[in-house]
Structure 1
Amino acid sequence: MLLGLLPGVEIVGTAADGDQAAELARELKPDVVLMDLRMPRCDGIEATRRIRTRDREVQVVALTTYADDRSVLDALQAGARGYLTKDAGSEEIRRALSQVTRGAAVIDPAVQHHLVDALTAGAPRPASPAPDGLTPREVDVLTLIADGLSNTEIAQRLFVAEATVKSHINRILGKIGARDRAQAVGYAYRHGLTSG
């Protein structure tokens, strides 16, 4: 539904699993496949590998709730040109689709550190769970709040709309039981969620 509302995006097919995704990509030859990684029968990693082996012109962007080192690395090694988490906003998705069709790679800022960690460690490590059920993107936003950035600055840093930042902040405050930004900053420092 979201994709159908994006300007310049035409949905040519949808698949229920990785086998179907690979088959539809062969038949329909889309510019970009937006791929979930966790699917029945054939997962998104294997489907990405099949699609990219058969046709290097079809670009794949992984869109998933999984932002651990192994998932990021496996998706990219399978041939994905982009990796977004499912809390990405519509503008982020539209921008990613546009960029990969122009040959660029797109990695969600929320998962970039996983990629760096995996590559510098020589082997993927399991991600440490964020406190109170915070998503990787919410942790990023909270860290930037603790660094003293405004909503506008956070939006620019994460390449999202300011309204998206406000939504993240509202969810963060609810999850951590904070009344305002000052309490959120205190929470971030207590839980080691600061960049400094």
Structure 2
Amino acid sequence: MLTAIIDYESGNLHSAEKAFQHMALEVDAGDVVVTSDADVIAKADRLVLPGDGAFPACAAELRGHKGIYDAMVEAVEQKGRPFLGICVGMQLMATAGHEYEKTAGLNWVAGDVVKISPKDQTLKVPHMGWNNLIIDQQHALLDGVEDGQHVYFVHGYKFDVAKPEDRIAHVDYGGDITAIIGRDTMVGMQFHPEKSQHVGLRMIGNFLRWTP
């Protein structure tokens, strides 16, 4: 079994690599590699797409690496390989992002990425720090994770899902903010599981064992 963390030059992948390798060893899920090799991505059993920064820049970087982009899309859309998007990697799964300008996403989960506008004006944007998960529906990703446990966020934009059934969990930050999305063989986390201590590691392990 091989899990590929996709390197398309949009973020520091060191902490994610270490967390996934640690959990792969713990749950006997094979090898984890950080790669920009389209052939490795095409052969991988699972794919992870991280992302840090602005939606348009990350989308441009991903599409600019045509070999990586094509291999990823084929693996997910045609081969049904399990896929996990993290932070902006999750946002790229949307229909479109509205950061600075309207930018097309992968359109894997219907919805739009829009600026966070808390009802409580004392709440700062970006949404940064720990927040408690509110589970909307059960999913294999949440095995052993309880309602109310905390995960770590750093983001100024949020994913508004078009279909409630695609939202697995959310948090309250002056209004609902989608925390986890999922459809078919695809899941996404707005927070950083690699920075979310034992709860995040548990979800990483769950993903590595997931057989949708």
Query: Under a length normalisation based on structure 2, what TM-score does the superposition of the two structures give?
Result: 0.35
Q: Which has the higher helix share?
A: 1
Larger RCO, structure (CA 8 Å, separation 6 or more): 2
Q: Which has the higher strand share?
A: 2
Q: Specify the structure having the higher radius of gyration (Cα).
A: 1
